Structure 1
Amino acid sequence: MERSQYKTVTTKRGLKYSYASIPAEGTPRDTLLFVHGFPSTSYDWRNQVDSFKKAGFALIVPDLLGTGETDKPTDAALFKFSAMAADVVDILDAENVGEVIVIGHDWGSVLASRLASYYPERFKAYAFFAVGYSPTSADFDYEAVLALIKQFIGYETYGYWQFFCEDGADKVIEDHLESFVSLLYPSDPAIWKTDMGPRGTAKAWLLSDKKTPLPSYLRDEVKILWYLPAICCSPLYQDVKHITDLIKKYGIRSSLNWYKSYIDGIAEEDKGIPAANQTITKPVLYGACQKDFVCTPGLFVPTMQKVCTNLTIKEYDTGHWVQLEATEKVNADLLEWIDGFTEKV
């Protein structure tokens, strides 16, 4: 991915989005829409781009609201998932594409779920990694969810949400950025079970400035910078430096609104989703991460087996960041899945 491949569009509600628009090589096939999670940007999909471009796919890879070069509002009400789904469709319209295949990870999977709810006619198929398809968030009750999950698997998984939604959480994260990155990207995924999921543990980790070794999939070797030359004094870059430089430049306050939108219950409009749109009959792929101790597959598979009538499940012996940790298998599984319901020209 090169910076020259990025475009900007102003959506119907007046927000500027930055996104990579990458044409296919060779005989063109479908367009793939990749949507990232937290605390990420389009850079999360760097290991997928070349593979699928060379396989004949056009790619659209946005920086979602609050991230990268996209606008960063502080008003949590602007992060309604129905509204962000409309923003993404505005990007598709700007690119003059009709049906696409959407691939989501983390919060991007939640957004892909709402794209299925509100704009099913625009999507040929859906892939979800780490976080599975969620039929609706209209009745989300944070305390009830935490209690049910603890009863089901024995510990809290989303306790860190409470901290992320506190006033001043952004300052704590920015003041302990190296500690934050090591917690979000630990070499030992089990750290999320003890120091991320249970309430109070993530904040305590940062305030004590605790650190743990980083994983090998965050590359240490230098490589040519493609993304934000304005914030780097050298043409050489590293993955960790990329992540930290973005937060240093823009802060993290805006992107924390992805969590606040749930905690604040602003998904009330999801009650208007037609019942028929809660079930996906088109092809669905779920990438289950067996060492993800927050987004554990057992929280998603039973529901998906009921409401996704054409479901393929692939398992990965990885933590949360599967597209980085198991790049070759993810790319091969995605391509095999797509080949299963599309025809090569």
Structure 2
Amino acid sequence: MQTRRLKTDGLTQQILEAGTGPLVLLLHGFPELGLSWRAQVEALAAAGYHAVAPDMRGYGGTDKPGETADHTLLHLVGDMVDLVRALGESECVVVGHDWGAPVAWHCALLRPDMFRAVAGLSVPFQPRRPNGRPTETMAAMGRRAGLGDIYILRFQAADAHLAFDADPATALRKCFWSYDGATAPEHRATGLLPPGVSMLEAVPDHAALPPWLSPDHFADYVAAFTAGGFKGPLDWYRCLDRNWALTAFVQDARITVPALFLVGELDPVRRYAGAHEATLGDWLVDLRGRHVLTGAGHWLQQERPVEVNDYLLGFLRDL
């Protein structure tokens, strides 16, 4: 594997890559990096693919636009279109985890000519709904549950990233631990926060590194987020309502390319996005597989690299 930086039309992107052959893009989520896909880059390269995992816009070694409005889904899809072109290709398979999954789904939705197949991990495709802004829907969901706000609403505040920037190591450790499948159920995140309690305050201080996260691997995350900060990553969340406004033109559109979905049985995201798993077949016209990994949490490709690699390689072989 090697790391290099590529100048694309919109920005300079840092990528982790290995192998030669058909291109497969691997898109990370929050709070991760291209290195979150190391096990997949290695396995895909060994199987005859050119595996590329970029640091996404606002993360790691990739450029970090200062304006919140520069982090919409349309920017993120455009970044991947630019990256495919910069790599000298005209098509690829795109795979996304967490926030990378909505980007991957929309790559396939908006440019099926370039993104010939798509796999999403942890976050199912969520079609645009015509019933108002996403943050309004989330606020109503929290009120119905009677347990406070979903953490995404707290991220809308312009200063929400400052608590993460103040101690990146603690913030990352708490995020990884509270969404991991090995964490005790009473400490695993629900996504909902009591009034006046922040996401980081809701996680006990005794949070430890998950079993899959070595100190050296964790140090790479800490170094990247200490240098780059959390503003850009949280700006993705702050564009939720903007994304809704910008994507009216794809209302009711379906993804037509071959698709795969993987999710951890114990993934906390299923508490607030799980309903969309049941309707995947309505929106993914060529859904080739939908798999729940027993006992796994949110960090699917890092918690269960062997299983994820097997599913991805089987999906790719069948294309």
TM-score range, shorter chain: 0.7 to 0.9
Question: 2 CA distance for matches of 1:157 and 1:294?
Answer: 16
2:166 — aligned with what? 175
Q: Which moved more, 1:322-331 or 1:54-63?
A: 54-63
1:89 — aligned with what? 81
For residues 148-227 of structure 1, the aligned pairs below 5 Å read: 148=141, 159-186=150-177, 187-188=182-183, 190=185, 191-194=187-190, 196-198=191-193, 200=195, 203=198, 205-206=200-201, 210-220=205-215
1:16 — aligned with what? 12
Question: 2 CA distance for matches of 1:59 and 1:105?
Answer: 15
TM-score (ref. length: structure 1): 0.81
1:330 — aligned with what? 308
Shift of 1:314: 1.2
1:229 — aligned with what? none
1:243 — aligned with what? 221
Q: Does 1:289 align with 2:264?
A: yes
State whether residues 182 and 211 of structure 1, in contact with CA within 8 Å, keep that contact through their aligned partners in structure 2: no
User: Which deviations, in whole Å up to 9, do the C-alpha atoms of 1:244-278 show, x marking residues without a partner?
Assistant: 1111112111211010001x434412112275xx2
State whether residues 25 and 93 of structure 2, in contact with CA within 8 Å, keep that contact through their aligned partners in structure 1: yes
Question: 2 CA distance for matches of 1:97 and 1:172?
Answer: 40
Shift of 1:183: 2.1
The unaligned stretches of length 5 or more in structure 1 are 221-237
TM-score (ref. length: structure 2): 0.88
Change beyond 3 A, Cα 1:117–1:103: same
Q: Which moved more, 1:292-301 or 1:332-341?
A: 292-301
Residue 298 of structure 1, aligned match among 261, 274, 286: 274
Question: 1 CA distance for matches of 2:285 and 2:147?
Answer: 30
For residues 131-150 of structure 1, the aligned pairs below 5 Å read: 131-136=123-128, 139-148=132-141
Q: Which moved more, 1:166-175 or 1:313-322?
A: 166-175
State whether residues 108 and 257 of structure 2, in contact with CA within 8 Å, keep that contact through their aligned partners in structure 1: no
Change beyond 3 A, Cα 1:313–1:171: same
Q: Does 1:272 align with 2:249?
A: yes
Q: Does 1:108 align with 2:100?
A: yes
State whether residues 160 and 202 of structure 1, in contact with CA within 8 Å, keep that contact through their aligned partners in structure 2: no
Change beyond 3 A, Cα 1:204–1:103: closer
Shift of 1:111: 0.5
Question: 1 CA distance for matches of 2:261 and 2:203?
Answer: 36
Change beyond 3 A, Cα 1:7–1:56: same
User: Which deviations, in whole Å up to 9, do the C-alpha atoms of 1:32-51 show, x marking residues without a partner?
Assistant: 11111011110110111111
State whether residues 288 and 316 of structure 1, in contact with CA within 8 Å, keep that contact through their aligned partners in structure 2: yes
Q: Which moved more, 1:30-39 or 1:15-24?
A: 15-24
Change beyond 3 A, Cα 1:327–1:266: closer
Shift of 1:308: 1.2
State whether residues 130 and 287 of structure 1, in contact with CA within 8 Å, keep that contact through their aligned partners in structure 2: yes
Change beyond 3 A, Cα 1:110–1:103: same
1:260 — aligned with what? 238
State whether residues 2 and 17 of structure 2, in contact with CA within 8 Å, keep that contact through their aligned partners in structure 1: no
State whether residues 155 and 198 of structure 1, in contact with CA within 8 Å, keep that contact through their aligned partners in structure 2: no
**Higher share of residues assigned strand:** 2
Change beyond 3 A, Cα 1:19–1:167: same
Shift of 1:208: 8.7
User: Which AA in structure 2 matches 1:141?
Assistant: P
Equivalent residues, number: 310
Shift of 1:99: 2.0
Change beyond 3 A, Cα 1:146–1:285: farther
Shift of 1:325: 0.5
User: Which deviations, in whole Å up to 9, do the C-alpha atoms of 1:4-30 show, x marking residues without a partner?
Assistant: xx232132xx42222234332xxx3x2
Change beyond 3 A, Cα 1:176–1:79: same
Shift of 1:281: 2.6
Question: 2 CA distance for matches of 1:192 and 1:102?
Answer: 29
Shift of 1:88: 1.0
